[in-house]
Amino acid sequence: MIPVTIITGFLGSGKTTLLNRILKEQHGHRIAVIENEFGEAGIDNELLVQDQGEQIVEMNNGCICCTVRGDLVRILGELHAKKAAGQLHFDRVIIETTGLADPAPVAQTFFVDETIREQYLLDAIVTVVDACHGPQQLDEHHEAQEQVGFADRLLLSKTDLVSESEAEDLEGRLRRMNPRAPLSRVHFGAAPIGEILDIRGFNLNSILEIDPAFLDDVSHEHDEEVASFVFRAERSFDQAKLEAFLGGIVQVYGTDMLRYKGVLWIAGVEQRAVLQGVHMIMGASLTRPWQAGEKRESVMVFIGRRLPREVFERGLGRCFAESDAVA
C-alpha cells in the first residue's frame, strides 16, 4: 500500500513552504504531490521546486474536501495505474489541501472508497498553524478548528512574528484542542522528515471517538462570504506603483484579505517576483529568472471576505509600467 500524508492548515499558514522543504531534502523518497487550491487558478504549483522529478498534479476547480473529491479518487486511481504500469515511479503521495479544506472528508476518501482503501494507506494528517494569525483564525473559522482537531502532527509556524508568551498561549490552546497530536515549532518549513513521513499517525478508532459519524457524514459547506478571484495581465508592473497600491489596499481591506499571492512580472527585473500575504502581513521575493521563450505575465490570487473585485482590478490596472499603463 502506498502511504499518503495530508498537509493541511489555514490560508497562509506555511503549507507550501513545508512541502518545498520536504521536496528539497535528500531523503531518498520519490514523492507524487497532489496540489489543491481554492479558486480558478493555482499559484502554489509555480512555487514548488520541480527539479527532483516529482509528479505534481493540480486540482484548482474547487475545494478538495467537497466539490472535487471525485477528482481526488480519479487522480489517485490514475497515479496507482501508472505506477503499476511502470510509467511513474513514486513511493508515496503528499496531498496539500487548500487552506479552506476540512480534512475530515479528505481522510474519508481512504476508507469509504473500496479501491482507494486497498491501494493507499493514510499515514498522517499534518497541520500547520500560523502563530501570528492562528488565534483569530481559530475564533472565526470552523475549518481551522477541524484542521487542528484532526491533526496527527501539529506544526506551529511564524513564531518569530509573535512574543514568546503569545506563542506559549497558542500552544496551550492547541494542546487543549488536540492533546493526542505532538506539537512542535517550525521555522520556514524546517521540520525533521522523520516527524512528518512514515509516522503511522492516523488512527481511525481515535477519530471515531472524536467524530462517530466520520465514515458517514460527507457534507461540508464553506462560508458563503469567502470567495476568491484571479487577476491576470500580460504586462509588466511598475514596482513603485504596485507597492504603493498594495500597501494602500492592505490598510483598507487587510482584515478581510485572508490570503493573497502571486507570480509577478516587474518592469526592468529579469527574475520572477513572488508575492505572499495574509491579512496585513505582506512580503515579496525574487525567484528564478524568466526563461528564454517563456511567456511573461502576472497572475495574482485573492481570497477573502466580500472583497470588491472591481476596486482591486481597477487599481492594479493603474500599476503597469509606463509603456503598458491604462487610463
Per-residue pLDDT tens digits for 170-217: 999 999 998 888 999 998 888 888 888 888 877 666 666 666 665 555
Partnered with residue 34 across adjacent β-strands are 57, 95
Tracing cell 476568491 back to the chain, one arrives at 228
- CATH label, 2-210, candidates 3.40.640.10, 3.40.50.300, 3.90.79.10, 3.20.20.105: 3.40.50.300
Q: Which residues pair with 130 in a beta bridge?
A: 157
Q: What is the pLDDT of residue 65?
A: 41
Asked if residues 25 and 52 have their Cβ atoms less than 8 Å apart, the reply is no
Q: Does position 8 have pLDDT exceeding 90, yes or no? A: yes
pLDDT value at position 32? 85
For the chain, give the percent of residues with pLDDT over 70: 81
Delimit the CATH 3.30.1220.10 region(s) of the chain.
226-324
Q: What pLDDT digit, counting tens, does each position of 10-66 carry?
A: 988 988 889 888 888 777 778 888 887 654 444 444 544 444 444 566 544 443 444
Delimiting residues of CATH 3.40.50.300 domain(s) in the chain = 2-210
Q: Cell numbers at residue 29, please?
A: 523518497
CA gap 327, 324 in Å, rounded: 10
CATH 3.40.50.2300 assigned to domain 226-324? The reply is no
Alpha helices in the chain (DSSP H): 15-24, 44-47, 69-84, 103-112, 114-119, 134-140, 142-149, 164-177, 204-210, 239-253, 309-316
Q: How many angstroms separate the CA atoms of 87 and 84, rounded?
A: 8
Q: Which residue has the cell 495530508?
A: 6
State the pLDDT at residue 211: 62
Task: Provide the pLDDT for residue 224.
Answer: 60
Rounded CA-CA distance 7/96 in Å is 5
Segment 318-321 long-range contacts (CB within 8 Å, at least 24 positions apart): 318/241, 318/245, 319/237, 319/238, 319/241, 319/242, 319/245, 320/233, 320/235, 320/236, 320/237, 320/238, 320/241, 321/235, 321/236, 321/237, 321/238, 321/267, 321/268
pLDDT, position 40: 47
Query: What is the pLDDT, as a whole number, of residue 51?
Result: 44
Q: Check residue 66 and give its pLDDT.
A: 42
Is residue 317's pLDDT more than 70? yes
- Average confidence (pLDDT) over 74-79: 88
Judged on CB neighbours under 10 Å (0-12, 13-18, 19+), 51 is exposed
Cell numbers describing residue 78 = 490514475
pLDDT at residue 213, rounded to an integer: 60
